[in-house]
Amino acid sequence: MTKEQTRLFELLKEFDDTCRSCGIKYFLTGETLKCATEEGSMGPNAAYASVIMTGDDCRAFIEATQRAAWPERELDYWCSNPEYPDYTVRYVASDTTAFDMTDYLNYKAHGMYIEIEVLRGLNNSKKAKAMRALEKPAVAEAIGNNSDGYWACSRKDRLTRAYYKASDKIIGKEKIKKKLFEFFSEKCCNPAADGTYYVCHNKSVLKGLPKELFEGDPKECEVNGYSFMIPSDCEMLIRRAKGKNADVFLVDSERPYTDTIEAMGLSETDIRNIHEADLRIADIEKSRRKYNKRAREDWRTVLQADARLRMHKYYMPKKDEILRLYEAEDYTKLNEEFKLFDEETEKLLPYKRSFSFDNELLDVYIHVLLYNGQSEKAENIIRWMPKSHLKEI
């Protein structure tokens, strides 16, 4: 395992220890379950692991975590964050970094995390219908679908939106989200009348999970010598759950996300623009609107900042040795040292972008390129270097 996967593995072990000590039942799900059962690994995405549990068990885990009050651990969900987008819970290691900048604004904690999907059953009481009427516009607002066009589909949807807006004015978004979580986890924690659960993720609803899947003693699956809980029918949870692409996450197992965000030099406005650009990309894929170029440029800014941060972390410990090789004019070894830097630069140059994290190392790299007869590449790196990158991290 990589050090990031090892760190996530330790976080999942920590989660498992808490659950076992408190008699809480959970199951691995989605890509985490697939990789654990088929490969005995944590999988390629080192940002998070997915588990699933009932509302009763989820509340018990939250209470256990809050009682323990462990430093550098956070719970991000409706009760702690009114901007949180859906009916899940994140158990976050705040001394690490794992965030998707295109989905940044809905979360307050951006470390590596365990995502808890919470099972729900249908409750047809008047109170339950009213709470579900609040949930749809609350979720739609969080994930960026709060436009008039989205709500113009039916009279019922327009009434639902009006109900949410009125409730927001009277009691506020924070109380709405807290009431939703408390109600669904307590009053809808049992399976529906037909004996099935369902799981809500943003606008997606995974239906038809039979209660028998979550009854009885869990099976065990071993990953790196440690056993985690899995359901009797693994294929059902693997098939019905979807994970995020590992490539969209910026992950660092050693640096707190607060330091990472500061080091990237991006303001909240910058991140908001990137978030909005990601929403535009989704619209572009459907309607091919004119914002295609701008959205792609915003995303390349993310990749550029990511490369800069990773290369800073990799090369700064090597700086003294590189400067010594430069003074000795050992260009053979310098070419070897700058191989990774060169690969990252090659990815960005086609988009007329380059990066720097240290002026001295940049100067050495440019001289190495000139020594190798790559003057055009050296000129392009200087030409397309952002002014902000001339200030060292």
| pLDDT above 90 (res 170) | no
Phi/psi of residue 375, nearest 5 degrees:
-65, -35
Cβ proximity of 78 and 66 under 8 Å? no
Confidence at residue 151, expressed as pLDDT on a 0 to 100 scale:
43
Please state which of the ranges 10-14, 175-179, 268-272 shows the lowest mean pLDDT: 268-272
The owner of tokens 């949807």 is 157
- Interval 75-86: pLDDT, tens: 999 999 998 988
- Determine the residue type at 331: Y
Pairwise CA distance, residues 143 & 138, whole Å? 9
CATH 3.30.460 domain locations along the chain: 3-121+198-252
Please state which of the ranges 85-94, 121-130, 134-143, 228-237 shows the lowest mean pLDDT: 134-143
Tokens of 271: 């991140």
Tokens of 116: 């808890």
Confidence at residue 302, expressed as pLDDT on a 0 to 100 scale:
86
Confidence at residue 147, expressed as pLDDT on a 0 to 100 scale:
41
Question: Please, which pLDDT band fits residue 152 given cuts at 50, 70 and 90?
Answer: very low
Pairwise CA distance, residues 125 & 340, whole Å? 60
Confidence at residue 236, expressed as pLDDT on a 0 to 100 scale:
77
Confidence at residue 245, expressed as pLDDT on a 0 to 100 scale:
57
Query: E strands along the chain, which residues?
Result: 27-28, 48-53, 73-76, 88-93, 97-99, 112-118, 196-201, 204-210, 219-223, 226-230, 250-252
Whole-Å CA distances, 141 to 32, 65, 147, 180: 29, 29, 9, 15
| pLDDT above 60 (res 291) | no
- Interval 5-53: pLDDT, tens: 999 999 999 999 999 999 999 999 988 999 999 888 888 888 999 999 9
Answer CATH for 3-121+198-252 from 3.30.450, 3.30.70, 2.40.128, 3.30.460: 3.30.460
DSSP helix/strand/coil, 90? strand
| pLDDT above 60 (res 150) | no
Looking at residue 385, the DSSP 8-state letter turns out to be: -
Length of the chain: 393
> What average pLDDT is seen over the chain?
85
Pairwise CA distance, residues 312 & 359, whole Å? 11
| pLDDT above 90 (res 61) | yes
- Interval 357-393: pLDDT, tens: 999 999 999 999 999 999 999 999 999 998 888 777 7
Confidence at residue 322, expressed as pLDDT on a 0 to 100 scale:
94
Confidence at residue 140, expressed as pLDDT on a 0 to 100 scale:
77
| Residues in a beta bridge with 52 | 27, 117
Pairwise CA distance, residues 73 & 93, whole Å? 5
- Range 309-337 average pLDDT: 93
- Interval 38-50: pLDDT, tens: 888 888 888 999 9
Beta strand 250-252 with 97-99 is antiparallel
Confidence at residue 146, expressed as pLDDT on a 0 to 100 scale:
43
Pairwise CA distance, residues 301 & 213, whole Å? 44
